[in-house]
Amino acid sequence: MNKMNRMLRLIIILLAMCTNISMQSQTTAQWRGLNRDGVYSSEKTLLKAWPESGPSLLWSTEIIGNGYASPTVSDGKVFVNGEIDSISHLFAFDLAGKLLWKTALGKEFMGSGFSSKFPGARSAPTVVNDLVYVCTGRGKLACIETATGKIKWSRDIISEFIGILNEFGMAESILIDGDNLFCSPGGPEVYMVALNRFTGSTVWTSKGFADSVSFCSPIIIHLASSSVLVSFSNYFIFGLDAKSGAQLWKQKQEKVQYQQQCNTPIYADGYIYYIAGDGNGAVKLELSADGKTIKEVWRNSLVKNNFKGFVKLADHLFSPDNTQKIKCIDIKTGLVTDSIKVKNGSLISADGMLYIYSENGELSLVKLTGTKMEITGKLKIIKGSKEHFSHAVISDGTLYIRHGKALMAYDIKQK
């Protein structure tokens, strides 16, 4: 009996080791960094100030087509999607800017009426090991081999799940967790789906809840006994059970005018932080230990940030604001404790610095001393076309900026 028990324990240990090795070997690169929180925490020894001319340009290209989708960098390749002649393409470049391949994905979002002013790709690619996942603004989802650009499988989530394409197209960046892929057709019967990431087969579908899809890219929260998917529809922030798709909770947004629930929430230490559009403000929610309930801790409706992202550093949130400032918010009280004047734009962080890519095309480096902010570098982005809406990306000391048809790589590492 003792021999059997020892054998059983050995099998359990070996299985645990194999599982741990498998987990460690899964390399993911995605929207706003590893944790989708805009903080590139592995980046170190970056420049703390830029010369008057800005950081050095390593390379640039202007062949990627229209769009606002950020690039994704993984395993020596840069992936970015864009629209050329109404067709969506995924491009792969090496780290010197050489085009490795491009793959046509089908019709891209071109809009109608007012939205026709904003054609092109919306969502950032998600890379897991040797596969890259991308969704067009019209809901064509594809799994592609990173080495060759060959499409492994694809699905049209709008037509297949009777989803609803909103006025400005799909902008959700695909979420991967383990063997599952999560995305949001946003229809009245099926709001979110889980697919097997290797085959594209359906794992589960979640029920719609009488609301249209917004532009938020979801997160997954792993708790002791369950995992929770958190995202926004137009009027609600909601949580779903990641195993079954069952709805756990939702909270209604009181002011919604332009369907601008775009900012990905951040989870840390039992709390969910979000900043919603249309004046709903910055909010802290307490998530129960089992993930089934939420409780609002505070709300600061004076923080106005529709789609620029925000970051959490230690005990503070840093957020762009429609008043042309970066605001520093104490996570204990929800109060703004400091601010600095800078044109509104998308915000990320690395190595204790903030990087804001403003709508006027100016890229600003902001040095942090505690919570005090100081601008220590500026760069005017002159390549590219249309609005400066994309979020910046940092990988291995290189800063990547997408402006419409242009993709640029800047050296920001200390020498």
User: Is pLDDT above 90 for 19?
Assistant: no
CA–CA gap between residue 323 and residue 207 (Å, rounded): 38
CA–CA gap between residue 134 and residue 127 (Å, rounded): 9
Alpha helices in 92-187 (DSSP H): 157-160
**Which helix H or strand E contains 2, and what residues bound it?**
helix 2-25
pLDDT at 358: 98
Which of 153, 241, 254, 251 shows the shortest CA–CA distance to 197?
153
Residue 410 C-alpha from the chain's centroid: 21
Answer yes or no: are the C-beta atoms of 58 and 97 closer than 8 Å: yes
46-98: per-residue pLDDT in tens? 999 999 999 999 999 999 999 999 999 999 999 999 999 999 999 999 999 99
329-356: per-residue pLDDT in tens? 999 999 999 999 999 999 999 999 999 9
373-403: per-residue pLDDT in tens? 999 999 999 999 999 999 999 999 999 999 9
Could you tell me the pTM of the whole model? 0.93
Give, in order, the Cα–Cα distances in Å from 277 to each of 88, 302, 332.
Answer: 28, 11, 22
16 pLDDT band (50/70/90 cuts)? Answer: very low
**42-64+307-415: CATH class:** mainly beta
Residue 4 C-alpha from the chain's centroid: 48
Answer yes or no: are the C-beta atoms of 93 and 62 closer than 8 Å: no
User: Is pLDDT above 70 for 192?
Assistant: yes
Q: What are phi and psi of 318, to 5 degrees?
A: -120, 125
DSSP 268-285: ETTEEEEEETTTTEEEEE
Pairing between β-strand 56-61 and β-strand 131-135 as defined by DSSP bridges: unpaired
Q: Where are the domains of the chain?
A: 42-64+307-415
CA–CA gap between residue 112 and residue 207 (Å, rounded): 29
* Residue 173 CA neighbour count, 13 Å, CB half: 29
